[in-house]
Structures are given as structure tokens and as C-alpha cells.
Amino acid sequence: MTTAPPEIDVTVRRRESAAPDVDVFELVPVDGASLPGWEPGAHVDVLTDAGLERQYSLCGDPADAGAWRIAVLREDEGRGGSRWIHENLLEGGRVRVRGPWNHFAMVEAPRYRFIAGGIGITPLLPMIRAAEAAGAAWTLDYAGRSRACIGFLAELETYGARVRVHASDEGARLDIAGLVPAEGEAVIACGPRRMLDALDEAASSWAPGTLHVERFEAREVGEPVRHETFEVELMLSGTTVEVTPEQSVLDAVEQAGVFVLSSCREGTCGTCETVVVEGEVDHRDSILSPEERDANERMMVCVSRAACPRLVLEL
């Protein structure tokens, strides 16, 4: 089981608009202590008073141990987390956060092609700054409805021609199907599901390991490999549970009284990541890369299932 990072009470030191409906929150610890270190690609869970947990990428400077920055897109049609944050988290307000987690660590590569759609720019900002500081070759394709509605453009435009904006209202659509990465280039992307699905499809003809994505929305998955009940042995707890077709592994484990830290329960945050000791997994999460799924070493127990009659997990 992944060791949970600490929960920290923070205050909003500053809040400012980055784009229509996108606000940046600068969070500082209530006790004035230093915040844990983090690397580009990391996120934190914001634990709202409304009982909702939401994940937000850290988009500030990893070298700043005094403050974390997150950007929150208000989604009125969403499940309520971003609306709660926009309405309740004012300057001077307090909230608890858990983190940092990092399931989207920046890979080492001789050159990078960053691709962002809308709010998906947030985990890429620290990566772009790190690539720039390291003198690496990089470009960014940044897609959105219009220049007016995509955030952080003023900062990004200082990089000149390496940043290409694809605004739909200007008819400048990003041609994902025609994208051909240079040899050794890492393609690192975050954005809406449609964009990432198109990249997944395009990447099927690229060298393995070229594409790295972070999804804020769960990917489409087909039918489970098995429709029957299966067994899961919890090695550390010394117990075995049955998982029916209607249950998730997480549900069954919790019903057996074994605690697993979880947050999104839809395979996008990585909080419930669990070590697989034995058995084939039907990976249904939106985090692991195809290579990581093939390695079969970890699974997200909130959505992934068994592809065999029995799994053994390090729980």
C-alpha cells in the first residue's frame, strides 16, 4: 500500500484569477512550518469542509517550501468540489490538504513535447520551468476555446515560439492524429478526455514509452475481463475476501474491516494504489501507463479488478 503523505492545515495567503472561472490559490501552512518537498507533476488532495476531496496539481515553484499554489477551474456542472472551493476558500480562509502525491513524475528525456488542454496546463507549468532551467529542448502545444479563456498565457508567451496556442475560435485546432514525435522525444500531456484519448490512439504507432499523460477525468474502459466473483487474499491482514461483480475490490476490503486510504474512487488520483503480490489484474484506472499495466506490480483497488480467479495483495 502507498504510504499516505501528511495532512496539513493551510491558509489561503493569496487568491487571484488566472482565467475566467480559474483562480490560483496560494496556500501557506497555518503553523508557519516548511511544507514537504515536491517534484513537477505532483498534486495535493484538498479536503473540503463539505466532505468532498479533490485533487489539484501543484503549479508553483518546487523550491518554495513556504507556499503551495494550485489552480482551480470552477465547474458548476461538476460534483461540487470546485464550486465549494470557489465559494468558500477566500483569502485568509483555512482548509486541510493532504500531499504531495506524484503519479505523473517528469521523465528524463533529451527533448520534450508538452501538450495541454485548458486547465490541464497546471501540472505542466513546473515541468516546463524545469525543462527550461535544465536547458532542455521543449515545445508546448496549448489548446483551448479561445486565448481569453486559457490561463497562464502571459507567463508562457515569454518563451516565444516554443509555445504554440491552438484556440478553437481562431480555427487553430491541434492536429493530434498527425503528430509524429522526434526520436527520443517525450510527449507529456494533460487535458480533457477527448484530447487524451486521441493521443492514446496516436501513440499506438509511436515508440513504446513516448507518451506520458495525466487524466483529471476517468478514461473509457470496456467490459471487465471477468464477470464472476473472485477472491482477494490480503497478505498482511491474513484474510481473504470475495469480490462480487457488483462490488469494487476497495468496497470488499473495507467491508472486511481493512483500511485503505482512498479519495476519488474512480481511478484518477492514485491514492488507493496497492502492491500486487500474485495474480493478473484487469487494470481499469486512468493513471498507470500501458507499460506499468503490463508490469502488473500495482493496482488501483477502487476500479481495477481481477483477470483471474484469485489475487494476492499487499494489504
Nearer to ligand FES, 210 or 268 (CB): 268
Is 56 or 114 the residue whose CB approaches ligand FES more closely?
A: 56
Pick the closest to residue 49 from 5, 80, 23, 14 (CA basis). Answer: 80
- In the complex, the smallest distance separating the C-beta of residue 166 from ligand FES, rounded to whole angstroms, is 30
- Kindly state the cell numbers that stand for 288: 498507470
Q: Dmax over Cα atoms in the chain, in whole Å? A: 60
**Ramachandran region, residue 51 (left: φ > 0; alpha: ψ -120 to 50; beta: rest):** left
**At its nearest, how many Å lie between ligand FES and the CB of residue 36?**
20
φ, ψ of residue 204 in degrees (nearest 5)? -65, -20
If the CB atoms of residues 48 and 263 are measured against ligand FES, the closer one turns out to be 263
Nearer to ligand FES (CB atom), residue 143 or residue 253? 253
DSSP 292-307: HHHHT-EEETTT-EES
Instruction: Check: CB of residue 43 under 8 Å from CB of residue 57.
Output: yes
Q: Is 48 helix (H, G, I), strand (E, B) or coil?
A: coil
Q: Which residue has the cell 491552438?
A: 166
Considering the complex, state which of residue 189 and residue 302 has its C-beta at the smaller distance from ligand FES: 302
* Residue (54 or 69) nearer to ligand FES, CB: 54
- Smallest separation, CB 104 to ligand FES (Å): 13
For residues 14 and 26, the answer to whether their CB atoms sit within 8 Å is yes
| Shortest spacing between CB 103 and ligand FES, in angstroms | 9
Question: Smaller CB distance to ligand FES: residue 140 or 288?
Answer: 288
Give min distance, CB of 296 to ligand FES, in A: 17
Shortest distance, position 267 Cβ to ligand FES, whole Å: 5
Cell of 58: 501543484
Nearest to 68 by CA among 109, 96, 104, 106: 96
In whole angstroms, what separates CA 196 from the centre of its chain? 13
Of the candidates 105, 96, 109, which has an alpha carbon nearest to the alpha carbon of residue 11?
96
Shortest Å, Cβ 43 to ligand FES? 11
239 contacts: CB under 8 Å, gap ≥ 6: 233, 256, 258
Contact residues for ligand FES, defined by CB under 6 A: 262-265, 267-272, 285, 300, 302
